[in-house]
């Protein structure tokens, strides 16, 4: 038999009411790093399985965007609804707005959905649960690439040339994803235990869409202008859209968004690490 | 052999019986944990101790059998040992790399092929891609699924899935191995192969083995913990003793049950001559002579009936029957109302193997052979012996091996 001279890693499990924030954040970062291969493997498993059992494949990733955009393009072009000037061709405006609006909704639900989809391994196998968040983000990123393809096609058709502000596209997108996945992670403990969250969020997002410049621009005046100016989501959508279409971007806002994203991410790591064992014991095996 | 790898000290865990309350407590616990507030130790409404004050330790090279009836707290304890859920009280110290054979084939996607799922399962178990590439051939070889490797796993038989799952898990080289009832499926040949692998791992690993199969437990365990309703009922190195008390639980409270009666006879009592009763079972040593006595009350006059017994094992499977007990040439005796009918049945060298058996009594009319009375569990016996066997009979056989010269 081989000699076991190496030092053994010691794990102590006990009921703990006192914890060190820095240690948990460190453990969490370590968890993300160590579980990357697992997350990648599971992401490729899910994506392969999804497309192997589908005829239209990639189409389903862009179908919601096309549907929503088509409805609004139709309403606008037939004069059914009269909308304030968007500055850029309306179809581009709507496609960009809906793409990133749907992205935000997906980010919020991502942690809860990924945890629910992987219940069977969570209750049986001990692995770094951070892998699930990475898994969700990888799948989201894959879908996003397909959608960005659609966006590029539209930008080309309408011959919209980006300006230097396109440099801000990647940071805004990244901060947005981090911020909303973090918010999603923070609410996931409740979302996993009670499925009310999963039902309420899409409805709330549907409503919120109408007070955000997603399918129409901010009006010049009136109560809608006030509501939109109070809605932080408006600035995210406006900045992402402008960064692609050569409009002006608000650098200060992007910096603030970045800071918010980091703070939210740290809180999310902490809550996720602490909440996972508690959720596991309430989950059906 | 030597250092302690698993140490559980006064481990307790509570659960709520009510689902809504369980969710509510869950949310509350998350909040109180995050805010660092004190968590109440005592039971809240509808809560109970699923595991209470459990302590044991396992050294390298030892195997602890964890047995108990359904709901005894074994799985909960195992989840705590595996680090999936935290104890509410006490602490668990685990030293070294932990491997768990709790769910075989975790991470499988039914649509993907066996080949792809090997990578999925291995990554869930914590292998790196390089490790899987290196071990891929031995996994395929161990699983014996060869030609079906590129078929979707959903078309596999359950046995094939288990084999593939075990083949991946068998590549682990843990310091601590947790095994839960995973070997129940699969054919005998494969189970033996799994045991061979476990035997290889055993000498340099601390193992916790959860099972309902006592032959398996006695085969590999060096010490045993019998749990009942969350508490330890027996903990020690006498594996046989632990198994005996596990078996006793089955029969306790199980009473004679009248399956059929034509109201001619009424069952009163049954016993084994000169044997002690313990937990409802008459204790008999292996290969001893046994005399069973059944007492019945006569309700309607009758002639000497035919009597026979059948023996059932723990799983309620019939394993033996008696031949007709009263020889036909004996002159019939007439029994009258309120007489007591006494049936004595004796057998030489009863070679049932270690375990608990229940005896069914059948009485029928001699002439028409129509049934008069059938009593299930008329008598419970427990056969004690050192050797634990897989089957119900441990035959007393003399074996001679010789060489014949050509």
Q: Are B106 and A41 in contact (CB < 8 Å)?
A: no
pLDDT in tens, B162-203: 889 989 988 888 999 998 876 666 677 777 888 888 888 888
In this predicted structure, the answer to whether residue B96 has a pLDDT above a threshold of 70 is: yes
- For an interface test with B, which of A112, A277, A284 has the most B Cβ atoms less than 10 Å from its Cβ? A277
pLDDT in tens, A24-73: 999 999 999 999 999 999 999 999 999 998 898 888 888 988 898 899 88
pLDDT in tens, A143-191: 999 999 999 999 999 988 888 889 999 999 999 999 999 999 999 999 9
Closest CA of chain A from B91, distance in Å: 4
How confident is residue A237, by pLDDT bands cut at 50, 70 and 90? Answer: very high
In this predicted structure, the answer to whether residue A102 has a pLDDT above a threshold of 80 is: yes
pLDDT in tens, B125-176: 989 889 999 999 999 998 888 889 999 999 998 888 888 998 998 888 899 9
B194 to chain A, any CB pair closer than 8 A? The answer is no
The Cβ of residue B404 has, within 10 Å, a number of other Cβ atoms equal to 4
**Residues of B with CB below 8 A from A42's CB?**
107, 120, 123-124
Q: Are A125 and B100 in contact (CB < 8 Å)?
A: yes
What string of DSSP letters covers B10-61?
Answer: EEEEEEESSHHHHHHHHHHHHHHHHTTPPPP-S--TTEEEEEEEEEEEEETT
Q: Are A11 and B94 in contact (CB < 8 Å)?
A: yes
- For an interface test with B, which of A13, A20, A129 has the most B Cβ atoms less than 10 Å from its Cβ? A13
B269 to chain A, any CB pair closer than 8 A? The answer is no
**Residues of B with CB below 8 A from A111's CB?**
none
Determine what percent of chain B is predicted with pLDDT higher than 70.
93
Q: Are A279 and B60 in contact (CB < 8 Å)?
A: no
Q: Where does CATH 2.70.50.60 sit in chain B?
A: 257-384
Domain B4-250 has CATH 3.30.2130.10: no
The average pLDDT across B386-392 equals 81
Strand partners, B9: B91
Q: Are B94 and A42 in contact (CB < 8 Å)?
A: no
In this predicted structure, the answer to whether residue B113 has a pLDDT above a threshold of 60 is: yes
B30 to chain A, any CB pair closer than 8 A? The answer is yes
Buried b (16+ CB within 10 A) or exposed e, B119-134: bbbbbbbbbeeeebee
The Cβ of residue B339 has, within 10 Å, a number of other Cβ atoms equal to 15
A220 to chain B, any CB pair closer than 8 A? The answer is no
Distance in angstroms (rounded) separating the CA atoms of residues B286 and B291 = 14
Considering only the beta carbons, identify the residue of B60, B83, B89 that sits closest to A11: B83
In this predicted structure, the answer to whether residue A5 has a pLDDT above a threshold of 60 is: no
Q: Which residue has the higher pLDDT, B83 or A14?
A: B83
Q: Tokens 């006064």 appear where?
A: B10
In this predicted structure, the answer to whether residue A246 has a pLDDT above a threshold of 80 is: yes
Closest CA of chain B from A198, distance in Å: 16
How confident is residue B250, by pLDDT bands cut at 50, 70 and 90? Answer: low
Distance in angstroms (rounded) separating the CA atoms of residues B164 and B177 = 19
| CA B231, B233, B237, B243 torsion-angle sign | negative
Assembly ipTM: 0.84
Are the C-beta atoms of residues B36 and A18 closer than 8 Å to each other? yes
Closest CA of chain B from A39, distance in Å: 9
Distance in angstroms (rounded) separating the CA atoms of residues A48 and B110 = 12
What's the length of chain B?
A: 406
Distance in angstroms (rounded) separating the CA atoms of residues A122 and A279 = 10
Lowest-pLDDT range of B37-46, B236-245, B272-281, B355-364? B37-46
**Residues of B with CB below 8 A from A278's CB?**
26, 29-30, 33, 86
| CA B275, B277, B278, B280 torsion-angle sign | positive
Closest CA of chain B from A3, distance in Å: 9
Beta strands in chain A (DSSP E): 10-14
Q: Are B116 and A45 in contact (CB < 8 Å)?
A: yes
Q: Where does CATH 3.40.50.300 sit in chain B?
A: 4-250
For residue A1, the model assigns a pLDDT of 40
A6 to chain B, any CB pair closer than 8 A? The answer is no
Q: Are A13 and B124 in contact (CB < 8 Å)?
A: no
pLDDT in tens, B3-17: 899 999 999 998 888
For residue A3, the model assigns a pLDDT of 46
**Residues of B with CB below 8 A from A125's CB?**
84, 100, 102-103, 106-107, 124-125
For residue A2, the model assigns a pLDDT of 45
How confident is residue A130, by pLDDT bands cut at 50, 70 and 90? Answer: very high
Considering only the beta carbons, identify the residue of A48, A121, A280 that sits closest to B106: A121
Tokens of B106: 């975790």
Closest CA of chain B from A282, distance in Å: 7
In this predicted structure, the answer to whether residue A260 has a pLDDT above a threshold of 90 is: yes
A53 to chain B, any CB pair closer than 8 A? The answer is yes
- For an interface test with A, which of B3, B12, B27 has the most A Cβ atoms less than 10 Å from its Cβ? B27
In terms of average pLDDT, the best of A262-266, B215-219, B379-383 is: A262-266
The average pLDDT across B93-108 equals 89
For residue A109, the model assigns a pLDDT of 94
**Residues of A with CB below 8 A from B86's CB?**
13-16, 277-278
Q: Are B112 and A4 in contact (CB < 8 Å)?
A: no
In this predicted structure, the answer to whether residue B260 has a pLDDT above a threshold of 80 is: yes
Q: Are A123 and B100 in contact (CB < 8 Å)?
A: no
CA distance readout (Å), A140 to A46, A178, A234, B42, B92: 12, 12, 22, 44, 38
B201 to chain A, any CB pair closer than 8 A? The answer is no
In this predicted structure, the answer to whether residue A4 has a pLDDT above a threshold of 80 is: no
Architecture of the domain defined by B257-384: Distorted Sandwich (2.70)
Q: What's the pTM?
A: 0.80
> Chain A neighbours among B 214-243 (CB < 8 Å)?
none
For residue A116, the model assigns a pLDDT of 93
pLDDT in tens, A192-209: 989 899 899 999 999 999
Are the C-beta atoms of residues A279 and A193 closer than 8 Å to each other? yes
* Mean pLDDT (chain B, rounded): 86
Determine what percent of chain A is predicted with pLDDT higher than 70.
96
**Residue among B359, B379, B381, B396 nearest B285 (CA):** B381
**Distance in angstroms between the alpha carbons of the first and the last residue of chain A:** 37
């Amino acid at each position: 038999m081989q000699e076991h001279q190496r030092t053994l890693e010691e794990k102590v499990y006990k009921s703990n009411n006192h914890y060190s924030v820095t240690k948990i954040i460190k453990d969490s970062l370590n968890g993300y790093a160590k579980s990357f291969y697992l997350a990648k493997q599971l992401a490729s498993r899910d994506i392969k399985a999804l497309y192997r059992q589908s005829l239209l494949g990639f189409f389903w990733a862009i179908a919601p965007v096309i549907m929503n955009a088509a409805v609004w393009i139709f309403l606008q072009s037939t004069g059914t609804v009269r909308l304030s000037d968007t500055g850029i061709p309306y179809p581009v405006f709507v496609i960009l707005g809906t793409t990133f609006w749907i992205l935000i909704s997906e980010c919020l639900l991502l942690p809860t959905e990924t945890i629910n989809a992987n219940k069977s391994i969570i209750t049986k196998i001990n692995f770094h649960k951070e892998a699930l968040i990475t898994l969700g983000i990888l799948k989201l990123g894959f879908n996003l690439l397909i959608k960005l393809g659609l966006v590029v096609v539209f930008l080309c058709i309408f011959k919209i040339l980006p300006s230097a502000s396109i440099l801000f596209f990647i940071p805004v997108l990244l901060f947005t994803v981090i911020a909303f996945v973090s918010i999603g992670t923070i609410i996931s403990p409740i979302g996993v235990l009670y499925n009310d969250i999963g039902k309420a969020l899409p409805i709330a997002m549907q409503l919120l869409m109408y007070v955000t410049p997603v399918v129409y621009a901010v009006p010049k005046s009136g109560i809608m202008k006030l509501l939109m100016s109070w809605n932080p989501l408006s600035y995210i959508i406006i900045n992402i859209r402008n960064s692609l279409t050569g409009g002006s971007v608000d650098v200060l806002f992007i910096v603030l968004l970045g800071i918010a994203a980091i703070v939210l991410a740290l809180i999310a790591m902490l809550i996720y690490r602490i909440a996972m064992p508690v959720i596991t014991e309430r989950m059906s095996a | 052999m030597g250092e302690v790898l698993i140490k559980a000290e006064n481990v307790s865990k509570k659960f709520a019986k009510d689902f809504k309350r369980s969710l509510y407590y869950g949310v509350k616990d998350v909040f109180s944990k995050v805010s660092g507030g004190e968590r109440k130790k005592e039971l809240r409404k509808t809560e109970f101790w699923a595991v209470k004050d459990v302590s044991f330790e396992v050294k390298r090279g030892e195997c602890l059998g964890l047995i108990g009836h359904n709901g005894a707290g074994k799985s909960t304890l195992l989840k705590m040992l595996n680090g999936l859920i935290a104890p509410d009280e006490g602490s668990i110290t685990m030293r070294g790399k932990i491997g768990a054979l709790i769910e075989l084939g975790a991470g499988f996607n039914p649509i993907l092929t066996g080949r792809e799922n090997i990578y999925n399962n291995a990554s869930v178990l914590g292998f790196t891609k390089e490790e899987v590439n290196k071990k891929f051939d031995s996994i395929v070889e161990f699983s014996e699924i060869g030609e079906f490797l590129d078929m979707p796993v959903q078309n596999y038989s359950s046995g094939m899935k288990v084999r593939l799952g075990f083949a991946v898990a068998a590549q682990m080289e843990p310091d601590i191995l947790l095994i839960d009832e995973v070997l129940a499926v699969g054919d005998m040949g494969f189970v033996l192969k799994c045991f061979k692998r476990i035997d290889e791992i055993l000498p340099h690993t601390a193992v916790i083995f959860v099972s309902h199969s006592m032959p398996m437990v006695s085969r590999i365990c060096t010490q045993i913990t019998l749990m009942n309703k969350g508490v330890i009922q027996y903990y020690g190195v006498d594996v046989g003793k632990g198994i005996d008390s596990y078996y006793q639980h089955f029969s306790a409270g199980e009473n004679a049950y009248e399956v059929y009666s034509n109201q001619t006879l009424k069952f009163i009592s049954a016993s084994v001559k000169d044997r002690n009763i313990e937990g409802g079972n008459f204790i008999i040593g292996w290969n001893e002579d046994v005399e069973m006595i059944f007492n019945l009350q006569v309700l309607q006059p009758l002639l000497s009936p035919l009597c026979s017994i059948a023996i059932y094992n723990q799983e309620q499977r019939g394993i033996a029957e008696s031949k007709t007990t009263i020889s036909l040439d004996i002159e019939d005796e007439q029994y009258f109302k309120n007489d007591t009918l006494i049936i004595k049945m004796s057998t030489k060298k009863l070679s049932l193997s270690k375990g608990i058996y229940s005896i069914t009594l059948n009485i029928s009319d001699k002439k028409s052979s129509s049934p008069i009375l059938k009593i299930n569990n008329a008598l419970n016996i427990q056969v004690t012996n050192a050797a634990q066997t897989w089957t119900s009979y441990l035959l007393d056989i003399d074996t001679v091996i010789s060489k014949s010269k050509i």
